[in-house]
A and B are shown apart, each in its own frame.
Chain A
């Protein structure tokens, strides 16, 4: 068990004033058996109204609007969370068995999985139901060995298949490829967005369904997503789990800065 103090800051900078801005910001740690909030404070500016929302995946967040012209949007969420297991016993929803837009397997992912099966002496192809942590760890390790962390190589629109072909990408791509491999092997998997111990930006990892529970796995770092990980959202892929979304009126370029800090309270 770990007690974590976190801070999430999102700063949207607009070079021209915009108006009628509607946004959805899910910067709120998910409440579950895995993690509980001890304390939370959220500030979103500017906003005429802010209300709490929850979606079909179980993600919670804040929706709001800012009518008058403004040049930036700032969201800050901070608090203390207790995280205590890698695994959660939440029920499995069948949607996580099937491919989604960003995780549709192509030739490359099929080949990757086929080779992994061969190396494990399971040339029969897919592993089926009796796949456990050991096989998943093997697959994650294999991906880690063949994929290079390289910001800027991919965009938010890159699919798992495309990223694998490029051989490089960021946490979102690691997660998409790993999810695609899991589902192809018959293991339900989902995309998780959240915060990780340390300083930097928000992070993405995977939960795979094994032995009747969701196992948090971080393919970008080739390790289990343990007590140092705070979950914000989950879904079939990046799009379901995006932390910020919005739409405004006006002609403006935009840039987004995210700052995350998570430290353990001992």
Chain B
């Protein structure tokens, strides 16, 4: 795989031309930057992937059961497995979705599960992303370009083809479709992931729609073609977050929403991918309870482990957190994208005391985790390579069955001292190879 290195520059140049970019909002300004690609792939062996596959499918199945339960019977609360505070006071819980049953009862059609591999080889789940996880398009296009640049590499190595992601996506959209076309709804050109929206639409054969292209009439959703013809829409893979989706239901000032779309959805006349309201299940506080969900809904032990996590809400955990704060990483449950994450070891004594007071004052808001010493992957730098922290976002697709995409987005931190790999924090990415033999 070293033969890829000589193609690095050419591939990055091609990606820039195709518009493989990542947008970042900082200080209220929009900046678009290239998402740097490193040619050395992460390689996952066949057996290891089979193990991950089982664990990920189990986890996402349990999360789907949880979502159906939260917006339905709420048995897990009544049975005292999860305190209601963590569900009904979560920002991600949307009472507007109470009693809604999505087409084919799928809530999280596309889940992005972030994992890291510790130095002893064990995998740990860092975070579940069940709203609109992005990133699949990057390894897709990277693979396509590297195959073109270096076809010999893929003759020598038996790498599972990852170019079927669009096909998997299409299968999911078709499975839940209520009658009509599939569209990918993008807020537009200035969204951080616009490249991905247009790429996935093109590859999956769906229509890329802007908010003004869709409208509701008589409790059905339509796409307005430029000739003025109207087409009924059966599935919307919407890349607009819940709160902006429908100004008649959520944020009234939203200009990127489609008024009335939630009523159409509630009536079963359109499928929304992913279901609105999923944020209640990928909250950092709820994360703590996922292994218990697996047991509760599936009657199985969780295959994949969580990072050891403490919930400040529980007195015993809080005591532990306050005593060991210096070596823990503290996360604000209401933040995402690498924001609101503080490593105790980086704090001066004064700041540490301040953090303690904040935690005591608003315990529900914080979790703390042991810092996992996860493995470094080599990235190319100059003529040689240097080790950097990297995680893996695995994509799990739920249609008729729960399937794991045999690839994933490997993100790395370019800063040698950082454990935070989020692309919004300026990291880069690698392709992820799953070996087929």
Q: Which residues of A pack against B, CB within 8 Å?
A: 20, 22-24, 48-49, 51, 53-57, 63, 65, 93-95, 97-99, 235-236, 239-240, 245-247
Specify the chain B residue showing the minimal Cβ separation from A156.
Answer: B252
Tell me the minimal C-beta distance from B240 to chain A in angstroms.
Answer: 15
A53 touches B263 (CB 8 A): yes
Name A249's closest neighbour in chain B (CB-CB). Answer: B212
Among A53, A57, A99, the most chain B Cβ lie within 10 Å of the Cβ of A53
Task: For A57, give the chain B residue with the smallest CB separation.
Answer: B95
Chain A neighbourhood of B74, CB < 8 A: 94
Bound Cα distance A57, B84 (Å): 18
- Contacting B97 at CB < 8 Å: which of A51, A56, A97? A56
| Chain B residues, CB < 8 A from A23 | 248
Residue among B85, B94, B98, B247 making CB contact with A247, cutoff 8 Å: B247
The reply to whether B259 and A22 contact each other, CB–CB distance below 8 Å, is yes
Known: A24-B248, A56-B97, A247-B247. Contact between A65 and B216, CB under 8 A? yes
Closest B residue, CB atoms, query A56: B98
Q: 9 interchain pairs (CB within 8 A)?
A: A53-B219, A53-B266, A56-B95, A57-B96, A63-B260, A94-B87, A95-B95, A98-B89, A247-B259
Q: How far is the CB of B245 from chain A (nearest CB, A)?
A: 13
Chain B residues with Cβ below 8 Å from A98 are 85, 88-89
Q: When A and B form their complex, which 6 residue pairs have the shortest distance between CB atoms, in order from nearest?
A: A56-B98, A22-B259, A98-B89, A49-B218, A56-B96, A53-B263
B96, A99: Cβ atoms closer than 8 Å: no
B204 vs chain A, min Cβ distance (A)? 29
**Is B303's CB within 8 Å of the partner chain A?**
no
Looking across the interface, which residue of chain A has its beta carbon closest to that of B218? A49
Main secondary structure of the interface of B (DSSP, over half): loop
Measured between alpha carbons, how far is A99 from B215 in the docked complex, in Å?
A: 34
Specify which chain B residues have a CB less than 8 angstroms from the CB of A55 in the assembled complex: 96, 249, 266
Partner of B217, one of A24, A48, A57: A48
Instruction: Give the docked Cα–Cα distance between A240 and B96 (Å).
Output: 8
Given that A56-B96, A57-B95 are known contacts, is A95 also in contact with B88, CB under 8 Å in the complex?
A: yes
- The reply to whether the CB of B435 lies closer than 8 angstroms to some CB of chain A is no
Query: Judging by beta carbons under 8 Å apart, are A245 and B247 in contact?
Result: yes
* Of the residues A51, A57, A63, contact of B248 by C-beta under 8 Å: A63
Docked CA distance A97–B86 (Å):
12
Determine the chain B residues whose CB is within 8 A of the CB of A240 once the complex forms.
95-96
Judging by beta carbons under 8 Å apart, are A95 and B219 in contact?
no
A54: nearest chain-B partner, CB-CB: B266
Q: Are A56 and B99 in contact (CB under 8 A)?
A: yes
> Which residues of B have CB within 8 Å of A51?
218-219, 263
Interface check B100, CB cutoff 8 A: yes
Tell me if A247 and B84 are in contact (CB < 8 A). no
Which residues of B have CB within 8 Å of A48?
217
CB atoms of B96 and A247 under 8 A apart: no
Considering the chains assembled together, what is the distance between the CA atoms of A20 and B85 in angstroms? 41
Assembled-state Cα–Cα distance A53/B260 (Å) = 10
A53 to B316, CA, bound (A): 47
A20 to B217, CA, bound (A): 10
Q: In the complex, which residue of chain A has the Cβ closest to the Cβ of B84?
A: A94
CB-CB under 8 A from A236, the residues of chain B are 95
CA distance A20 to B258 in the complex (A): 11
A60 to B31, CA, bound (A): 44
Closest residue to B71 on the A side, CB-wise?
A: A56
| B88 contact set on A, CB distance < 8 A | 94-95, 97-98
Interface pair A65/B95, CB less than 8 Å apart: no
Nearest CB of A to B218, in Å: 4
Whether A245 contacts B96 in the complex (CB less than 8 A), given A63-B260, A65-B217, A94-B88, comes out as: no
CA distance A235 to B94 in the complex (A): 12
Q: How far is the CB of B247 from chain A (nearest CB, A)?
A: 5
* Residues of A contacting B216 in the complex (Cβ-Cβ under 8 angstroms): 22, 63, 65
Q: Give, as a whole number of angstroms, the nearest-CB distance from A187 to chain B.
A: 15
A246–B249 alpha-carbon span in the complex (Å): 10
- Neighbouring A residues of B219 by C-beta, 8 Å: 49, 51, 53, 63
Complex Cα gap A221–B99 (Å): 34
By beta carbon, the residue of chain A nearest B89 is A98
Chain B: minimal CB distance from A265 (Å)? 34
A54-B266, A63-B248, A65-B260 are contacts. A95–B217 as well, Cβ < 8 Å? no
User: Complex: how many Å from CA A97 to CA B97?
Assistant: 18
- Known A57-B98, A63-B248, A245-B247; judge A95-B93 contact (CB<8 A): yes
B77 contacts partner chain A, Cβ-Cβ < 8 Å: yes
CA distance A93 to B73 in the complex (A): 11
List which B56-106 residues lie within 8 A (CB) of chain A.
74, 77, 84-85, 87-89, 93-100
Distance in angstroms between the alpha carbons of A65 and B95 in the assembled complex: 25
Known contacts A65-B260, A245-B247; 14 further A-B pairs (Cβ under 8 A): A22-B215, A24-B263, A48-B217, A49-B217, A49-B219, A53-B219, A54-B266, A55-B266, A56-B94, A56-B95, A65-B217, A235-B95, A236-B95, A245-B248
Closest to B98 in A: A56
Q: Which residues of A contact B248 (CB under 8 A)?
A: 22-24, 63, 245-247
Contact mask for chain B residues 231-269; partner A; CB cutoff 8 A; 1 contact, 0 none: 000000000000000011100100000011001001100
Shortest beta-carbon distance, A191 to chain B, in Å? 12
A245 to B262 alpha-carbon distance, docked (Å): 14
B259 nearest CB neighbor, chain A only: A22
Against A, the Cβ 8 Å flags (1 = close, 0 = not) of B272-309 are 00000000000000000000000000000000000000
**Nearest CB to that of A96 among chain B residues?**
B88
Contact A94 B218 (CB under 8 A): no
Residues of chain A within 8 A of B263, CB atoms compared:
24, 51, 53, 63
Cα–Cα, bound, A240→B217 (Å)? 23
Do the beta carbons of B215 and A20 come within 8 Å of each other? Answer: yes
Name the distance in Å between B214's Cβ and chain A's nearest Cβ.
12
State how many angstroms separate the Cβ of A137 from the closest Cβ of chain B.
27
Interfacial chain A residues near B260, Cβ < 8 Å = 22, 24, 63, 65
Q: Shortest beta-carbon distance, B426 to chain A, in Å?
A: 32
Would you call A97 and B84 a contact (CB within 8 A)?
A: yes
**CA A85 to CA B93, docked complex, whole Å:** 32
